[in-house]
Structure 1
Amino acid sequence: MFIRTLYLSEELNLNLTEAAWVSILPPLASIFVTSIASQFADSLISSGVQTTTVRKICQTIAFLSPAACMTLSSVDLGLPHWAVAGILTGGLALSSFALSGLYCTHQDMSPEYASILLGITNTVGAVPGIIGVALTGFLLDSTHSWSISLFIPSIFFYLTGTVVWLAFASSKPQTFSKRD
């Protein structure tokens, strides 16, 4: 959130109050997108699409939407500041499809151990977030370019995550009992 506010303030020339208000838009838009994503996933499953396929579709939307919007935002198209903020808001809001992708996979795999699986994936997922803030600051100080410091690494990891998710994700039920 801090990096986003800093970007809006420095790059889009919004004052701190305006940047703070614009920063709250993606979470608000996510509320709306989440209801669409859940209904979309449920309708696919109800129509007979395999659960793993549904999870892969939703997570792919969650990864590629922000990547596409960041790509548009990093290219100087001469768009007004509010349009760039709107594109970023849309991309980040569409990342809420992960709630019908990755975050449902734990329950699909093992209802009994879903909380432990979620804890493991959240812990692993937090590491890039911690490192990313420091890396973004270092790259921004070195290059003075938001495209290089924020957008390019983010796009790279979204695309890499998509490839890994599509290659390895599965919602197949697992048993983790001692008897096995």
Structure 2
Amino acid sequence: MTFANMALLAAAFTTALIAGLFYAYSCSVNPGLGKLTDANYLSAMQSINREILNPVFFMSFMGTLVLLPLSTWLQYNPSAPLRFYLLLGATLVYGVGTFGVTFFGNVPLNNALDAFHIPSASPEALSRQRTLFENSWNQLHGIRTVANAIALILVLLACIVGNSKSAG
């Protein structure tokens, strides 16, 4: 196996890990949290947002941001460009739709929530904070989930298409 194909396999793996994480949030974590009271919802999201900042998450989330463009560059072949263009598309979709939305959308919301002191808040303040956070965060999460799924499909297609003159 060539280095280029090992990098492609690693990119596919990390892209799939993040797609799975976001999918799990969408179909189980977010609906479950949505049923909690305001104080419990906000506390749970603070806890989750703090705990996800760990090396295992960063390895896959940031690793994908590095591995996709690396794979794109390594797979460039002017005589058979389809794999390159699929990976370029995956890189752009992940970079903007997953990483960009997370960094410029979800993270600022997480930071604002982290600064909110739940124990001293009134019921009205808790409700207001939840309203400010939950709908926006879930909408942004939906965007990054779809973007990551599209990036994964593009990477998987790149894995199965040929990249040489002899491939068919």
Which TM-score tier does this pair reach, normalised by the shorter chain? 0.3 to 0.5
Larger radius of gyration: 2
Q: TM-score, normalised by structure 1?
A: 0.41
Higher relative contact order (CA 8 A, sep 6+): 2
Give the TM-score of the pair, scaled to structure 2.
0.43
